[in-house]
Amino acid sequence: MIRMKTSSYFLPDLRDAPSEATTASHRWMLQSGMIQSTVSGIFTWLPLGLRVLEKIKTIIRQEQNAIGALEMLAPTLQPATLWQESGRYDDYGLEMLRINDRHDRVLVYGPTAEEVFVDVVRRCVQSYKSFPLNLYNIQWKFRDEIRPRFGVMRGREFLMKDGYSFDLTEKASKITYRNVFRAYMRSFYRMGLSVIPLQATTGPIGGDFSHEFHVVAQTGESALYYDAVLDDRNVPRFEVSDFQGIYAMVDEKHAPEQCPVPLNQLRVARGIEVGHIFHFGDKYSAPMNAQVFLKEGRKVNLQMGSYGIGVSRLVGAVIEAFHDERGIQWPISIAPFSLGLMHLQESLEPEAAHVYDRLQAAGIETLWEDRPLSSGEKFALMDMWGLPFQAILSEKNHHKGHIEVKIRRTGERHFFALEEFLQWILLQCKEHITLAIIETS
Amino acid sequence: MIRMKTSSYFLPDLRDAPSEATTASHRWMLQSGMIQSTVSGIFTWLPLGLRVLEKIKTIIRQEQNAIGALEMLAPTLQPATLWQESGRYDDYGLEMLRINDRHDRVLVYGPTAEEVFVDVVRRCVQSYKSFPLNLYNIQWKFRDEIRPRFGVMRGREFLMKDGYSFDLTEKASKITYRNVFRAYMRSFYRMGLSVIPLQATTGPIGGDFSHEFHVVAQTGESALYYDAVLDDRNVPRFEVSDFQGIYAMVDEKHAPEQCPVPLNQLRVARGIEVGHIFHFGDKYSAPMNAQVFLKEGRKVNLQMGSYGIGVSRLVGAVIEAFHDERGIQWPISIAPFSLGLMHLQESLEPEAAHVYDRLQAAGIETLWEDRPLSSGEKFALMDMWGLPFQAILSEKNHHKGHIEVKIRRTGERHFFALEEFLQWILLQCKEHITLAIIETS
């Protein structure tokens, strides 16, 4: 059994706040050793950061699969010809990275993948029997931002979940859109986030109907205008209709003179966009000839929607939502480890090893701070890493048969006997045990 | 609960063998709807193919973690400056895809990541206490092959597990090398493969010591020369020393006049390279100044190795090893589904649904062929997809209270009552239940 000990883990934390970081998430991700900047807007994910990214992927995947969406994987590089066919090759401008291969054929590093998915579907299926189809992938994308900033929140190479739905009728397509809307809200909820869905403009993706999903945070780049009732609507089981007819607009769509919400009821906030969904009918299927014959013999263009979540951006957005002056405060569901274990005196190392083994046997993901640091240094590191729970073994408490537990977010402390502690922590974490299962054979 | 039914899954199988496919794996991957070619040497992985890729990743990850290697993730695009620093920028030639960004800075699509990992480590760690470090990632790579061929086996964009180890001494570094060697052999073994490790030349990675791992297959591009005793050495628990001192050379290293193996004992075979490991000392750490102070104050260059597995190539290599004229024969551990369920008469659909639900409850990954096809068509598709087990419900057997089970690889058939069947299949699959766990919440 491998014990996750800081002495053998790769945790290159920085003493001081890095000067290039202007937001909390950028600072804490660099400082706690989650990422390293490889070149402007392009990051290497260190082990601690990758664990969070993988957990976010798992939640998104589970919620997509739950609505019958099927995971596949488009390549990062796409032929320019597909973009010429849809008419977007010239629209995209300098943000799209264009590459000449050795035979001087032009490839693009996909900033999104509508064309590739339409191409897959039109080449495979002729019959109406194959629909509805809702396909998604989680893949690295590239947008050549002129001024990358805020760390992973506006990087150039970024991880995106992008999904594409194909229906025979507009009605069916809108039902799919609502299902994805619900899956998105559930995904964000499971990450511990309060997310506001807002009516949005469609931008370069195009189409006639669109929502953005925003985490409310002071460092957000977007201005949001919404009815205050939405602040209470983000519940685990909800209906999409709970959000319909309620005023919620991004900046470009908000018109003060037409806003029906009384001023004292109107929230004006900053938001970080973490998702964007579009219904755009046959915008791509028409020019790219993605058509099928209906049962009665009539040929129709497929009705499409596309659905994006910024997976790597979410890591930053969650930190913007959950941190204090000492570091990160992870929600349990996506914390890199659920619990940080530390012993304050070297004499307690055997006891700590025993507690570690019991935690591991119970399936609790534990990081054990076993380096010869001072108590103060250990407390500071643990608070920075932001693991939801800290278990502290000290001689004083050991004599009483106690383990001290600190809840990172509230600062609350409990004192438990070992068995009591194990039962308690299992109860806190049991809905969130995902990664540990696939990591060990 | 979502039932994986072919009518709602995305399985765009082709009637006929695609003309561009010259090898069995390329043919069957296209024909069974595992992949689609997006542009020369670049593929989209459809749901069936992605499941195999993910299972291979999981096995590799588990075996890497078991030796204490830590997973992280380098970006796909890397700054050219790092390659200039190591001296490899000019060595790599046209196979390396070079890209100018909007500010005319040169990026490369990483064909490997020695430089990025050295850069990560040298920027993070100054103290000998941080070592040994063994870091890996599973990330898309690009090599601009002049003539991409054999489908995913010699594509341009490909998925690779690449790992990099950092030790303080050459002795420690060679111990790490042996640990990775063992982890590689275990990974291949768990995928059902017989793999021969051979002494190899070091090529563009460089260094003084290297092994290639080859799947023996007639369609392999490499010539292998090895002592026949190796054919029996591929056992689940073995010692690296079992492979030492036994003659095994790739083409470039084989010198007939110096070969100590008698001719009747020498195997001459074709192989598909699925792994390659290198020990290269300070080849990168010296020019890139990746140095640390030892306890006694002396500064040393870090001793490195690098370790690669062709993850996407393995999908093809496994099919080359396991197929017949009717299709693929997946090993259970990486099959997209463990079992294919079919009912031959429409009247048996409720019974099939019941069997499906029981299988799902038992954790058996099942694909249910529920489309209104003839029995012959269903049999042909199932054989092509190559799921290890087929459960066939027919009226004839239903009257007897029997489920017919066919083992794809051997053609063996069994007849079971339902409960008996469930017990039997669970026994066959229980060591291989991985993906199902993370797919559902």
**Does residue A167 register a pLDDT over 70?**
yes
Amino acid at A213: F
pLDDT over threshold 70, residue B53: yes
Q: Do A2 and B66 touch (CB under 8 A)?
A: yes
Question: Burial letters for A36-45: b for 16+ Cβ neighbours within 10 Å, e otherwise?
Answer: bbbbbbbbbb
| Across A108-125, average pLDDT | 96
Lowest mean pLDDT among A237-241, A392-396, B141-145: A237-241
Please name the residues between 55 and 74 in chain B that touch chain A, using a CB distance below 8 Å. 58-59, 61-63, 65-66, 68, 70-74
Interface subset of B 297-316, CB within 8 angstroms of A: none
The predicted structure's pLDDT at residue B310: 98
Report whether pLDDT(B269) > 80.
yes
Residue A372, preceding peptide bond in cis (omega within 30° of 0): no
pLDDT at B437 over 60: no
Pairing of strands A157-167, A303-310: antiparallel
Structure tokens at A29: 């991700």
Residues of B in contact with A99 (CB under 8 A): 97, 99, 109
Contacts of B101 in chain A (CB under 8 A): 97, 144, 156
> pLDDT above 70 covers what percent of chain B?
95
CATH of domain A24-324: 3.30.930.10
Mean pLDDT over B386-393 rounds to 98
Higher confidence at residue B141 or residue B19? B141
pLDDT of residue A340: 98
Average pLDDT, chain A: 92
Predicted confidence at residue B291, as pLDDT, reads 95
* Domain range list for chain A: 24-324, 337-439
Average pLDDT over residues A210-215: 94
Which residue among B12, B42, B102 sits closest to A75, beta carbon to beta carbon? Answer: B42
The predicted pLDDT at position B239 comes to 73
Q: How far apart are CA A52 and CA A315, in angstroms?
A: 7
Q: What's the rounded mean pLDDT across residues B175-199?
A: 93
- The string of pLDDT tens digits covering residues A129-139 is 999 999 999 99
What mean pLDDT do residues A362-387 have?
A: 96
pLDDT at A243: 75
Q: Has residue B436 got a pLDDT over 70?
A: no
Instruction: Please list, in sequence order, all residues whose beta carbon lies within 8 angstroms of the beta carbon of residue A4, skipping any fewer than 6 positions away.
Output: A337, A365, A366, A367, A368
**pLDDT tens, position by position, B207-249:** 668 999 999 998 898 999 999 988 877 556 877 777 777 899 9
Closest CA–CA distance from residue A231 to any residue of chain B (Å): 26
Phi then psi dihedrals of residue B189, to 5 deg: -60, -45
- pLDDT score, position A245: 78
B235 and chain A in contact, CB less than 8 A: no
- What is the percent of chain A where pLDDT is above 90? 83
Rounded to an integer, the average pLDDT of A101-115 is: 97
The predicted pLDDT at position B207 comes to: 67
Sorting pLDDT into bands at 50, 70 and 90, what band is A235? Answer: low
- Cis-peptide, bond into residue B12, ω within 30° of zero: no
- Asked if residue A438 has pLDDT above 70, the reply is no
Burial of B351 (0-12, 13-18, 19+ CB in 10 A): middle
Over residues A328-364, the pLDDT tens digits come to: 999 999 999 999 999 999 999 999 999 999 999 999 9
**Contact yes or no for B440 and A62 at CB 8 A:** yes
Between CA A189 and CA A192 the distance in angstroms is: 5
Range scoring the smallest mean pLDDT among A55-69, B202-216, B370-384, B415-429: B202-216
Note the pLDDT tens digit of each residue in B87-113.
999 988 999 999 999 999 999 999 999
**What pLDDT score was predicted for residue A437?**
42
A337-439 classified as CATH 3.40.50.800: yes
The answer on pLDDT for A226 being more than 60 is yes
The 3 state secondary structure assigned to chain A is CCCCECCCCCCCCCCCCCCCCCCHHHHHHHHCCCEEEEECCEEEECHHHHHHHHHHHHHHHHHHHHCCCEECECCCEEEHHHHHHHCCCCCCHHHCEEEECCCCCEEEECCCCHHHHHHHHHHHCCEHHHCCEEEEEEEEEECCCCCCECHHHECCEEEEEEEEEEECCHHHHHHHHHHHHHHHHHHHHHCCCCEEEEECCCHHHCCCEEEEEEEECCCCCEEEEEEHHHHHCCCCCCCHHHHCCCCEEEHHHCCHHHCCCCHHHEEEEEEEEEEEEEEEECCCCCCCCCEEECCCCCEEECEEEEEEEEHHHHHHHHHHHCEECCEECCCHHHCCCCEEEEECCHHHHHHHHHHHHHHHHCCCCEEEECCCCCHHHHHHHHHHHCCCEEEEECHHHHHCCCEEEEECCCCCEEEECHHHHHHHHHHHHHHHCCHHHHHCC
Nearest CB neighbour to A157, from listed B76, B125, B439: B76
Flag whether pLDDT at B317 surpasses 80. Answer: yes
Q: Among residues 158-217 of chain B, which lie with CB inside 8 Å of chain A?
A: 190
**What's the pLDDT tens digit per position in B283-316?**
999 999 999 999 999 999 999 999 999 999 999 9
pLDDT of residue B206: 64
The per-residue pLDDT of chain B, averaged, comes to 93
Mean pLDDT, rounded, for A48-67: 96
pLDDT at residue B382, rounded to an integer: 98
User: B427 versus A241: which is more confidently predicted?
Assistant: B427
pLDDT for residue B234: 58
